[in-house]
Structure 1
């Protein structure tokens, strides 16, 4: 068994990623943005039993 002790440094959202899809000669295009949430952790101790 393993026990890990850590602390949360910050929570936030990453930079926006743009997903752009297009089909040639069809007049079809789709643009969608996405921002992923994240939590930054700092590992302090790892206990192995």
Structure 2
């Protein structure tokens, strides 16, 4: 029941997970503008993600 800290991994540790869903996150808008120059650019980005459910951590 002691706390173990890894740098960056804990040796001989495994994690049992289940993939719940995969998809794209919310859209983030990027807007660039230069004043008095009529320069405007708008771009969107949606980051891919994977939602996991952790069932068990074995150390």
TM-score (norm 2): 0.76
Is the strand fraction higher in 1 or 2?
Answer: 1
Q: What is the Cα deviation at residue 44 of structure 1?
A: 0.5
Instruction: Please give the alpha-carbon distance, in whole angstroms, between the structure 2 residues aligned to 1:27 and 1:13.
Output: 32
Gaps of 5+ in 2: 1-11
3-state SS of 1:25 partner = coil
Q: What is the Cα deviation at residue 11 of structure 1?
A: 0.6
Superposition pairs of residues 2-41 of structure 1, within 5 angstroms:
2-41=13-52
Greater Cα radius of gyration, structure 1 or 2:
2
* Higher relative contact order (Cα pairs below 8 Å, separated by 6+ residues): 1
Instruction: Please give the alpha-carbon distance, in whole angstroms, between the structure 1 residues aligned to 2:36 and 2:13.
Output: 57
- The CA RMSD measured in Å over matched residues stands at 0.7
Aligned length: 48
